[in-house]
Amino acid sequence: MITRGRSGGIFLAALFVMVAGFGYLLAVQFEPTVNKAYVVPAQNVELVEIMKGLERENEGAAQRIVDLRGQLGELESKGASTSDEVRVLTQQLRELRGKAGLAEATGPGVVVTLSDSSRTPTLSDDPNYFVIHDGYLRSIVNLMRRYGATAIAVNDQRVLGNSPIVCAGPIILVNSSRMSPPYVITALGNPEMLADSISQDVFFRVLEMYRDQFKITCSLEKKTSVTVPASLNNAAFKYAVGVK
Amino acid sequence: MPWQSTMLIFSLISFFVGFFLPGQARVVREMKQTYQSQDPKDLIRVIRDLQQRKQDLLVEETDVSQKVMQYLRSSDDTAAQVRQLQQEATVLKQRTGAIPLAGPGIRITIREQSSGASPSMLADEDLLLLLNDLWASGAEVISLNGIRLTDSTSVYRAGLNVRVDGKVTQMPLVVDAIGDTENMFKGLQIPGGVLDLLNLRRIGAIVQKVNPLRISD
């Protein structure tokens, strides 16, 4: 009877710990859901369908532009053999297109990879430290330019001087295109110079601290060859006109 | 309650905890990935941006398509080919900063508060956010204290100075932006936007519409 009473007490204590632990786990598990995030509003299904439909259309348009540019390049090459003037102008145009980011670029460079934390924040954590913000991408792009990058892309999007990097809640958009993590920021330039300078910059060190503490992904690699896609935007201005 | 019944209930609870928790974690993860759990306002914003992207791609597709047609038509006409190449070269020179530009736009004059116990200071992130908001709301060309921004331009604080494209310039900072004036103006006035952020930190920002605004090469 004494043995049974003692083991019963241990059992109740164990049960208490189990139930309390269960309650805690449930609270942690469902905490984000009770606010608002995971109650799926009815219209979201439709909005996601519209979003995906537009993305499919844009992918199709992007491919058609790449094909048309290829066709134009072939015509220009044929035309270049007809006269010296056309040949010189065609060469000049190719250089200008490269400078304007309208041509794919390949060469040595660096790749910075950022991604949200794999760890779920607990109740005591600030969830902001666990996700990659649009401002991080802007700062990394700015650092790459500062240390000599000649061409930059985020995932499949070429980033020019006028490319907006914005967010809509947790979704990051570059050139009005939705990005999915991991965010791979590729820069052409001197790999040693870029990697050494970026890794010593205060902003990058802060990101490395977040990586160690909050388990976000933050890496920097030197590459002997990287490819940055061409911008698919039209180069002409609507409002600005040339003046002498 | 008999001892066996307590054990049975306990076992059942343990079983259900073990059974449902991984499933719940998977559902939450999948919902995050499918974006169906997002705030509808965010999804609408994404859709607007994708529609804008569709428009931008259509402009480029139409333009390149017309160039291909023109080239095919002028295959034996060297003079026409030269004209077409020169036209595009001019557009690209404007884009890359080789030609001075003019057009309608806005001018933002930013002043820091240097007096008082805690002087305010414009941070790199503030400046990047301001420029980003201008590009996102229709700016075509921007200059900072007369220095035109190009694809390779970086901007950052260097002590009390601002470095733009490696050149040193001082506060106050005059940001000139040629483009869709109304949209840029509206974009800056959004509550909680960059101007509110600057004002909260006692950094003055005066926005004026200017037409024409001139930005040199």
Question: B215: closest CA among B172, B163, B175?
Answer: B175
Rounded percentage of chain A residues whose pLDDT exceeds 70: 89
Measured over the CA atoms of residue B43, residue B46, residue B47 and residue B48, the dihedral's sign is positive
More confident residue, A111 or B117: A111
More confident residue, B16 or A216: A216
Instruction: Answer yes or no: do A93 and B17 touch at CB < 8 A.
Output: no
Instruction: Answer yes or no: do A240 and B215 touch at CB < 8 A.
Output: yes
Report the pLDDT value the prediction gives residue A148, as an integer from 0 to 100: 96
Report the pLDDT value the prediction gives residue A65, as an integer from 0 to 100: 97
The pair of structure tokens assigned to B59 is 């402009």
What pLDDT, in 10s, does the model give residues A77-132? 888 888 889 999 999 999 999 999 999 999 999 999 999 998 888 888 899 999 99
Collect all residues of chain A within an 8 Å Cβ-Cβ radius of residue B39.
36, 169
A106-228 folds as: Alpha-Beta Plaits (3.30.70)
Interface test with B, best of A88, A172, A232, A234 (most B CBs within 10 A): A234
Q: Which amino acid is at A83?
A: S
Instruction: Answer yes or no: do A168 and B68 touch at CB < 8 A.
Output: no
What pLDDT, in 10s, does the model give residues A56-90? 999 999 999 999 999 999 998 888 888 889 999 99
More confident residue, A19 or B154: B154
Yes or no: say if B154 and B93 are a contact pair by the CB < 8 Å rule: no
Phi and psi at residue A107, to the nearest 5°: 170, -175
What is the rounded average pLDDT of the residues A134-157?
A: 96
C-alpha A19/C-alpha A84 separation (Å) is 85
* End-to-end CA separation in angstroms for chain A: 104
pTM here? 0.83
CB contact, 8 Å: B205 with chain A? no
Residue B192 Rama label (left phi>0; alpha psi -120 to 50; beta): left
Per-window interface: B 127-186 vs A, CB < 8 A: 128-129, 132, 135-136, 139-142, 149-156, 178-180
